[in-house]
Structure 1
Amino acid sequence: MSTATSSADPGGFQAFVQSLNYPVHIVTTAVDGERAGCLVGFAGQCSIDPARFVVWISKANHTHRVAARARFLAVHLVPPGRGLAEHFGSVTGDDVDKFATVPWVPGPGGVPLLSGVPAWFVGQVLDRADWGDHTGFLLDPVSARNDPAHPAALSYRDVRGVEPGHPA
């Protein structure tokens, strides 16, 4: 007997999703002098050999419009504390230069690399896929840094309640 939940009754799926606690990331990019970055909750390694990672960015997000033209994206683990997560998650790049008040350096392809994060990698965009209200960006890692002395990264449960900087 199947106990699967149909799409007409997504409550079972929502309960499953609410039990997850995966890391959140900040994705940054730059194209033609325009910088963008946002907090993302959907990302993960999707291949070992060759190494591949996918990150999903909301189509409502300013960063999505820039990433749609980008060759490279940087994916950052978020340090403990909500400050950086709220900055990149609750303010829209349509209204504010998010990089004006945070330390960063240019990385491969000109992407902004945030200072003070536990780890980051830059990936070349190999493909983009339309998956509902988000676009998936398939990345081929080209450069990375990991600071083992840095504390653990922020997780999804740590940022619940952060209001998005753009309408859903």
Structure 2
Amino acid sequence: MDPKAFFKLSYGVYIVSTSADGKNAGCVINTLTQVTAEPARLSIALNKNNETLKLIEISGTFSAVVLSDDVTMDQIKRFGFQSSRDANKFDGIPQGRDGLNNPYPTDGVCARFACRVVSTLDVGTHVIVVGEVIEAEALDMNAPALTYSNYHHKKNGATPPNAPSYQKDAGTVVGYRCKVCGYILESDTLPLDFICPVCGKDASYFEKL
């Protein structure tokens, strides 16, 4: 099997969020897909270890926003490279609240959806969640959506280990990989004071390839 074949699949970049038991959670995904038009339904895939999935299972709802091409890497790092178990990702940022009481970020966003869960499917490491769209709003018709390809090539983004598209095999690369965001430092040595340029974790979070 050639893992490079998967790189030819096209994706967007999105933030999914929810609220339950007085707590907000959200994460970056590349798996938001429209599966039906009537009724309008979207599917997402989340890792079983994801805190956002756990709260979605409690609330039975989720919000999904489409990131625009000019979204900052700081916004992506906030939602993609730390856990909602450890941080309030919505603290201090511009945000809205949908009709299902889920928060969503408003900076770097060109469309949003509010969904009520109608079914789930266990697919091993991840769970596919299908939601019926209750609200849909185009926030910026002139802003192009960020593609997963541009996320990697224009923004030098990394793929977190919890993402469905993450590939563990680093080939013949020699170096160290961040266990949080997947960033690879190509070096024979890892400085003790090294800080990951993507997620900000220190050298203790790196593993030798």
TM-score by length of 2: 0.68
Residue pair 1:60, 1:167 contacting (<8 A) in 2 also: no
Q: Relative to structure 2, which stretch is displaced further, 133-142 or 152-161?
A: 152-161
SS of alignment partner, residue 58 of structure 2: coil
- In the alignment, what sits opposite 1:39? 28
* Structure 1 Cα separation of the partners of residues 32 and 125 of structure 2: 15
The aligned counterpart of 1:133 is 125
RMSD: 2.0
1:143 to 135, 138, 150: 135
Q: Is contact 1:86-1:162 (8 Å) kept?
A: no
Structure-2 residue corresponding to 1:153? 145
- Indicate yes or no: 2:108 matched with 1:114: no
Work out which structure has the larger RCO, using CA pairs closer than 8 Å and 6 or more positions apart in sequence. Answer: 1
User: What stretches of structure 1 of length at least 5 have no aligned partner?
Assistant: 1-9
Counterparts of 1:131 and 1:164, CA distance in 2: 16
Offset at residue 20 of structure 1 (A): 2.2
- 1:56, distance to aligned residue in structure 2 (A): 0.7
Hey, what does 2:204 align to over in structure 1? Answer: none
The aligned residue for residue 94 of structure 1 is 85
Of stretches 147-156 and 47-56 in structure 1, the one that deviates more from structure 2 is 147-156
1:44/1:120 CA distance change after superposition, 3 Å: same
**Structure 1 length-normalised TM:** 0.84
Whether the aligned pair in 1 keeps the contact of 2:13 and 2:30 (CA below 8 Å) is yes
In the alignment, which of 91, 96, 117 is matched to residue 105 of structure 1? 96
In structure 1, what is the Cα distance between the partners aligned to 2:48 and 2:180?
11
In 1, Cα distance between equivalents of 2:147 and 2:16: 15
Return the offset for 1:49: 2.0
Task: Find the structure with the greater CA-based Rg.
Answer: 2
SS state of the match for residue 69, structure 1?
Answer: helix
1:29–1:74 contact (8 Å) kept in structure 2? yes
Pair 1:58-2:47 in alignment = yes
Deviation at 1:164, TM superposition (A): 5.6
Gaps of 5+ in 2: 163-178, 182-209
Taking a change above 3 Å as real, the CA distance of residues 46 and 31 of structure 1, as seen in their structure-2 partners, is same
**C-alpha contact (below 8 Å) 2:122/2:128 kept by paired residues:** yes
Is the Cα contact below 8 Å between 1:91 and 1:164 reproduced in 2? no
- Which among 2, 6, 23 is matched to residue 12 of structure 2? 23
Q: Give the secondary-structure state (helix, strand or coil) at the position aligned to 1:86.
A: helix
